[in-house]
Chains A and B, each alone.
Chain A
Amino acid sequence: MEKIRIQGVRKTFRLKRGQSVTVQGKQTDELEVLGGVDLSMREGEFVTLVGPSGCGKSVLLDMIGGLAAPSAGAVYIDGEAIAKPGPKTAYVFQQYALFPWRNALSNVEYALEVRGVSKNERTDKAKYLLGLFGLAAFGDRYPNQLSGGMQQRVAIARALASDPEVLLMDEPFAALDAQTRELLQAELLRIWEKTNTTVLFVTHAIDEAVYLADRVVVMTARPGVIKEIVDIDLPRPRAANIRSAPEFNAHRRLAWEALADEVNKAQREMELSLAAI
């Protein structure tokens, strides 16, 4: 069943006064970030989104989350157009975005608090979720007393607290060290497999994209459109050592080839605009 439909989505930012960009030799103060994106996601599907920096991946996520409006086109969840943050979506950020004045438990509770869930119920649920991530003993710690990996676990627990049908993740593991990252990838899959959540996951790491996803969506350099969709038909549940399997590498190469051109293109454009300065 179709869960999310992204239809003809474009996004153009107007630059601040005095700033301009050169697009195809012309100077303009309008920056086209997304140039018409169409994508459909099934319910319970895990999709990863890769593309060169600045191709509008995060903006696309913001639109699904109702935090930004498209300049043209629309995003639908269950057939309904998104206009503002809704109860069906939850967001996980690269920089955790935990409230530093709240301890871990009450950070997870926050998502339920703003939805008017009773105190007892939300405490129970928050404790359960922290337990799910092996953080039962850390509920009374404040974010600055937790490691990066633990903070991101709390942030994911907070996102899951509202039982989202759609989970949006914006490079959630990019700031973590390699071991923690692999650990969290496995944990995320373990928990996702138990739920029926639809996940859209933005990343820069091809390995991560292939390991997690049912499909890897490769975007072009700005203005971003979908260049290619690589189906990852690796069996689930996926063990960590699947990364060394030849099938994994085959998928990885496919995704990489699609992306490499675009990264080079983006790089060249960057150099050109630097030369112009």
Chain B
Amino acid sequence: MKMERITMIDLAYKEKLVTRLENAECASSTERLAVKRKVPRQLNSFICGLPLIVVLCLAWEIAPRVGLLSPIFFPPLSEVLVAAKGLFLSGVMTAHLEASLRRSVTGFVLAVIVAIPLGLLMGRYSRFERVADLLVQTLRNTSQFALLPVFILTLGIGEASKIAITFYASLWLLLINTISGVKSVDPLLIKAARSMGTSDLDLFKKVVLPASTPAIVSGTRLAVKASLMAVIAAEMLAAQSGVGYLIQNSQLMMQVPNMYAGILTLTCVGLFVNYILVWLEKKASEWKVSRDTSLF
């Protein structure tokens, strides 16, 4: 037992060393690439990050097989992938995924429709904000998860309660970011626009909205993530479909590989969506002086 541990630490240390070396190599190649600009920076950072993921996958595969982890609770990755393949081929996973995405997208879109016009108004007219701010802060700090029982009580266990929670989860992030975006619009630009005879409507459309777009897109990214998380939680508590339901139900039925398949699918969806939104955010704020966008 003690021996095992020592070899494990030893292994982990070696792996760390290897990845560190690889990273160092990547760093120097980044510098080279920055000059050549042949590979986009994002792809490059993806390649740099890959070894750690490979290590994680290998550990997941090997640890249950050599008895470091219980194969009942932690089936090897390959088994999980086989289960995932089965779920996708039979159409079960796609159906659940579709259900989850439909709910979160519906809730999110509703939140956009409400939050962005409201945020533009609240950001622009301080009197409006003064009246509404306390209410917004109060509601924002009421957890959407705590409210789930309320939604279920009032809206039933059908689609409405799930859409409500995704709506609630994304609304405040969108609203707060829109408000702060509008508030940070350079007053000089507004003065310049007004000096050219810009009407109030045009001022919103052509100045306030584009100037606050980067902040709105940042809010969107956070809101999309929040809506995905919220829908999963809701499905775990009360649903007959959706990936959250699949995960929860597989656990209850002790179909552990299916449970992990559901978790992995969510991770992949989250990663994919995040990369798209990061790209979008970058596009939207290209005109800003600082062009750095974090990946988180």
* Real binding pair: yes
CA distance A99 to B202 in the complex (A): 14
A73 within 8 A of B: no
Nearest residue, chain B, Cβ from A99: B189
Nearest residue, chain B, Cβ from A66: B195
A91, A95, A114, A162: which contacts B199 (Cβ < 8 A)?
A114
A131 within 8 A of B: no
| A91 cross-chain contacts in B, Cβ below 8 A | 191-192, 195-196
B197 within 8 A of A: yes
B196, B210, B213, B288: which contacts A162 (Cβ < 8 A)?
B196
B106 within 8 A of A: no
B289 within 8 A of A: yes
Number of A-B residue pairs with CB-CB distance less than 8 Å in the complex they form? 59
| B186 cross-chain contacts in A, Cβ below 8 A | 97
* B195→A65 contact, CB < 8 A: yes
Question: Chain B contact residues: over half helix, strand or loop, or mixed?
Answer: helix
| A99 cross-chain contacts in B, Cβ below 8 A | 189, 207, 210-211
Question: Chain A contact residues: over half helix, strand or loop, or mixed?
Answer: loop
CA distance A35 to B31 in the complex (A): 62
CA distance A251 to B126 in the complex (A): 49
* A115→B197 contact, CB < 8 A: yes
CA distance A10 to B64 in the complex (A): 84
Per-residue contact bits, chain A 143-183, to B (CB 8 Å; 1 contact, 0 not): 11000000000000010001000001000000000000000
B206 within 8 A of A: yes
Nearest residue, chain A, Cβ from B190: A97
B93 smallest CB distance to A (angstroms) = 41
A46 within 8 A of B: no
B287 smallest CB distance to A (angstroms) = 4
A89 within 8 A of B: yes
Interface residues of A (CB under 8 A from B): 65-67, 85-87, 89-91, 93, 95, 97, 99-101, 110-111, 113-115, 142-144, 158, 162, 168
Interface residues of B (CB under 8 A from A): 186, 188-189, 191-199, 202, 206-207, 210-211, 213, 287-289
3 closest A-B pairs by beta carbon, nearest first, are: A97-B192, A91-B195, A101-B287
Task: List 11 extra interface pairs beyond A101-B213, A113-B206, CB under 8 A.
Answer: A85-B197, A89-B195, A90-B195, A93-B191, A97-B191, A99-B207, A110-B196, A114-B206, A142-B287, A144-B289, A158-B196
